Amino acid sequence: MSNSLIPIVDLSPFFKEGDEEGKKRAKEIIGKACSESGFFQVKNHGVPVDLMARALNLSKTFFGYPNQEKLKSSPGIGAPLPAGYNTQRDHSQDKNEYLLVFPPGSSFNVYPSNPPEFREVLDETFSYLVKLGMLLETTLNECMGLPPNFLREYNNDRSWDFMIGLHYFPATEAGNNGLTPHEDGNTVTLVFQDEAGLEVCKNGEWILVTPSEGTITVNVGDAIQVLSNNKMKSSTHRVVRPKGKSRYSYGFFYNLHGDKWVEPLPQFTTEIGEKPKYRGFYFKDYQKLRMRNKTHPPERPEDVIHITHYAI
């Protein structure tokens, strides 16, 4: 396993005037990656590298606290997803604990009060990742050949974006699963990690994403796959826990507001004479079904809800 199959895209041309050639090159790599595996990495992405390192270090400190302290930030009710500190149920195959936050200022958020600077760093990291999500969405818009700003205008409400700080327990004799193979439901996910463990499926093979400082991995989610009628691929990935050490990561989910209607766009169906491969749905219904997979894991794996639930 190696990650030479996962392209690393230099985004610096998007942060300076004039480098049209550099932008074009980056877009070509991104377009190809999104239509093949739905997965690539980015560097020079505008998110300060030292901020990413601080966020990882602070989450290490937080998850190292006794449960009593962590449980002080247990989720309230009413949010689309449980904001705050969460553990997996004992029988869950996913062996991690996590802290979930919505955008800075969201009334759903339940921040830990310790370590004291954690809240500010979470908010700052979130704000940078939103900007990166927007840049990648604009790039995808172009790769998909959509009218300028189409995705930006469709996905114009940022209140359902969320970020999770994850702590995976070290692998044991009993198993090394961290997260079972899955696709993300949203539009675009950004991940950074301190230890290897994230693997992506390409042509039926699992490829390890080796962490390198300052690099962010990007994967396309189900919403883009549906809108593009499968032109873009929602990446299948999993997390394998390393032996003898904990693993920390952040996942940022550039999302859709729950009231958005998701269905294959005419550009990928009627306008080119192709049948839609999915029926339409409200995003909140899909997100709820996916959350239920976690809170009430079905006994039979075939009963876990995936995007195929809406396939025609």
Which residues lie closer than 8 Å to 172 by C-beta, 6 or more apart?
Answer: none
Whichever of 159 and 180 has its CB closer to Fe ion, that residue is 180
Whichever of 109 and 249 has its CB closer to Fe ion, that residue is 249
Of Fe ion, ligand AKG, none, which one does residue 101 interact with (CB within 5 to 8 Å by kind)?
A: none
Tell me the H-state helices in the chain: 20-36, 49-63, 67-70, 118-143, 150-154, 222-227, 283-295
Whichever of 164 and 265 has its CB closer to ligand AKG, that residue is 164
CB of 146 to ligand AKG, least distance (A): 25
CB of 239 to ligand AKG, least distance (A): 5
For residue 147, give the 3-state DSSP assignment.
coil
Whichever of 14 and 252 has its CB closer to ligand AKG, that residue is 252
Where b means 16+ CB within 10 Å and e means fewer, 90-122 reads eeeebbbbbbbbbbbebebbbbbebbeebbebb
CB of 7 to ligand AKG, least distance (A): 18
List residues near ligand AKG by CB under 6 A: 164, 166, 179, 184, 191, 193, 198, 237, 239, 249, 251
Q: Give the whole-angstrom CA distance, residue 237 versus residue 145.
A: 26
Of ligand AKG, Fe ion, none, which one does residue 202 interact with (CB within 5 to 8 Å by kind)?
A: none
Structure tokens at 266: 């005419």
Residues in the chain: 312
Whichever of 161 and 184 has its CB closer to Fe ion, that residue is 184
CB of 137 to Fe ion, least distance (A): 18
What sign has the CA pseudo-torsion 100, 177, 87, 210?
negative
CB of 4 to Fe ion, least distance (A): 22
Of Fe ion, ligand AKG, none, which one does residue 132 interact with (CB within 5 to 8 Å by kind)?
A: none
Whichever of 97 and 184 has its CB closer to ligand AKG, that residue is 184
Q: Give the whole-angstrom CA distance, residue 196 versus residue 206.
A: 13
Structure tokens at 156: 């114009």
Where b means 16+ CB within 10 Å and e means fewer, 144-173 reads bebeeebbeebbeeeebbbbbbbbbeebee
CB of 209 to ligand AKG, least distance (A): 8
Number of H helices, E strands in the chain: 7, 14
Whichever of 89 and 279 has its CB closer to ligand AKG, that residue is 89
Of Fe ion, ligand AKG, none, which one does residue 191 interact with (CB within 5 to 8 Å by kind)?
A: ligand AKG
Of ligand AKG, Fe ion, none, which one does residue 166 interact with (CB within 5 to 8 Å by kind)?
A: ligand AKG
CB of 256 to ligand AKG, least distance (A): 16
List residues near Fe ion by CB under 5 A: 184
